Structure 1
Amino acid sequence: MAMTAIWAHRGASGYAPENTLPAFELAIAQGADGVEFDVQLSSDGVPVVIHDETLGRTTSGSGAVGEHTLAQLQSLDASAGRSGFEGVHIPTLQEVLEVVAPTSLTVNVELKNSEVDYPGLEEKVLAAIAAFGIEQRVVLSSFNHYSLRRLRDLHAPSQLAVLSNDPLFKPWKYAAQLGATAIHPPVHTIFGRSYVRKATASGVVVRPWVVNADRTLRRMFRYGVDAVITDIPDVALALRAES
């Protein structure tokens, strides 16, 4: 059984402001096997890395991400009130790829387009990844499964992953219908080892989110999931070493 990979959720977001360059740099420093982050579009069409569709929770701004230009977005403080990180900004996809592309990390780009339609997001993400030549170690995921189908129709060379919030019936079969080879379910919907075995037997890998509790991390390692997506990669790495 292959070793479970450790992916840093929005970077090492347990220690640095989520989806910021310091969070990704820390994930690399801690030895994570991969990073996960979210991409939306500014009003002038630039892919930016931020989770919420609105600005209030993680930045000094307010209103919708997609109603602000890149210049307006990058003028905001994205430290989310975390001491020692004042002044960090919302990064562009380009800036994040500049940090992670020189590493060997797997890069999970979540297209954040399930609540807001960002026309052209798929094409822009594919173009940015291609410019760095890292298509083979990129995973593209979305809760918007029409977007995953669009990526497939665009012949995306990267792996596609189905994100879900709720338990899906035989999600490995559903993933195959979409042309995806991975499922990223919330960890509480993995009800037993057989879930992982059936997915693996179907050629579909399982990467649950967000896995932070020691007991849950250990259980996922026992189940043999392909990766865990966690806010605390250093803790997950230490527990994996004990498993």
Structure 2
Amino acid sequence: MPAIFAHRGANKSSCANKNLPENTMAAFAAAIEVGADGIELDVQLTRDGRIVVCHDETVDRVSDGHGLVIDHTFEELARLNFAATFSDQEPARIPLLDDVLALLAPTELSLNIELKNSVIRYDQLEERVVDAVNAHQMADRTVLSSFNHRSLVHLAQIAPGIRRGVLYSNDLADPWDYASRIGVQAVHPSGLLLRGRDDVGRFHAAGLSVRVWTLDEPDQIREAAALGVDAVITNDPAGARAALS
């Protein structure tokens, strides 16, 4: 059975019929509560160099603020409500990566940190993330991923002991060869790229783990499991577990 990773936390729940604001401490705590095997989240840097958890380069969609993450200090971001679009939720502060690492350290959950450095090439993001992971002694339970594949090569140079996964959403020719060549240990493809193909076996033959995103429908989850993927990244970890039971 594949591992279940909560995409931006357990932000959806078909079982409890309750949604939570993504990439918030409430969503991460819910992922632990429903028995997810791991958490997936996104990191960026503030103007004053703090590592915050946010998917978009701007805060407009998920908060009551406006503008780029990089244009705000952490203190400024901390005054915003990242549950503003949820009328039934308590206000939520943007988490620091340190907050989530501290939450997960006493558990057995794994962590997939996606570095959001494809649009904005944050200076020193890789080094800062590696330092945070090591400070919380989470290196053996963490995988670092990015759509910026040069960033993954850089991570291999500065932190060879932390696993890396190549994110991609477009068809690559012989992606198992490409992933091996850039020195990652896993591939994180969009679910659509695996359907009707025997790619998972080829990845495994190359020594690569396969974590597929982002699957929420039970039939999609069962199909991915039948293909032999190592992990399913989903917004609804409780529903995914139910689909596989």
RMSD of aligned residue pairs (Cα, Å): 1.0
> What do the CA deviations read for 1:131-159 (whole angstroms, capped 9, x no partner)?
11110110000000010010011133111
Contact 1:77 1:86 in 2 (8 A): no
Which one of 104, 108, 111 corresponds to residue 115 of structure 2? Answer: 111
Which one of 63, 70, 73 corresponds to residue 59 of structure 1? Answer: 63
> What do the CA deviations read for 1:90-140 (whole angstroms, capped 9, x no partner)?
100011111111110110000010000110000000000001111011000
Instruction: Tell me the distance in 2 between the aligned counterparts of 1:193 and 1:103.
Output: 36
Instruction: Tell me the distance in 2 between the aligned counterparts of 1:196 and 1:161.
Output: 15
Contact 1:97 1:132 in 2 (8 A): yes
Quote the residue 2:2 is aligned against.
Answer: 4
Instruction: Tell me the distance in 1 between the aligned counterparts of 2:28 and 2:148.
Output: 25
Displacement of 1:84: 3.0
Contact 2:5 2:40 in 1 (8 A): yes
The number of equivalent residue pairs is 239
Q: Which runs of 4+ in 1 moved over 6 A?
A: none
What are the residue-to-residue correspondences of 1:2-151 with 2, within 5 Å?
A: 3-14=1-12, 15-151=19-155
Task: Give the AA of the match of 1:236.
Answer: A
Quote the residue 2:220 is aligned against.
Answer: 216
Q: TM-score, normalised by structure 1?
A: 0.96
Q: Report the 3-state secondary structure (helix = DSSP H, G, I; strand = E; otherwise coil) of the residue aligned with 1:22.
A: helix
Q: TM-score, normalised by structure 2?
A: 0.95
Quote the residue 1:168 is aligned against.
Answer: 172
For structure 1, list consecutive stretches of 5 or more residues without a partner in the other structure. Answer: none
> What do the CA deviations read for 1:53-98 (whole angstroms, capped 9, x no partner)?
0111001111100000000011100014113323101100011111
Taking a change above 3 Å as real, the CA distance of residues 226 and 80 of structure 1, as seen in their structure-2 partners, is: farther
Contact 1:8 1:32 in 2 (8 A): yes
Instruction: Tell me the distance in 2 between the aligned counterparts of 1:232 and 1:83.
Output: 20
Instruction: Tell me the distance in 2 between the aligned counterparts of 1:33 and 1:225.
Output: 14
Q: Report the 3-state secondary structure (helix = DSSP H, G, I; strand = E; otherwise coil) of the residue aligned with 2:114.
A: strand
Contact 2:40 2:233 in 1 (8 A): yes
| Farther-moved stretch of structure 1 (151-160 vs 110-119) | 151-160
Percent identical across equivalent pairs?
45
Instruction: Tell me the distance in 1 between the aligned counterparts of 2:137 and 2:2.
Output: 25
Are 1:192 and 2:193 an aligned pair? no
Task: Give the AA of the match of 1:191.
Answer: R
Q: Report the 3-state secondary structure (helix = DSSP H, G, I; strand = E; otherwise coil) of the residue aligned with 1:238.
A: helix
Q: Report the 3-state secondary structure (helix = DSSP H, G, I; strand = E; otherwise coil) of the residue aligned with 1:207.
A: strand
Are 1:179 and 2:177 an aligned pair? no
> What do the CA deviations read for 1:189-214 (whole angstroms, capped 9, x no partner)?
11335111111111111111000111
Contact 1:57 1:80 in 2 (8 A): no
Instruction: Tell me the distance in 1 between the aligned counterparts of 2:244 and 2:87.
Output: 30
Instruction: Tell me the distance in 2 between the aligned counterparts of 1:203 and 1:83.
Output: 46
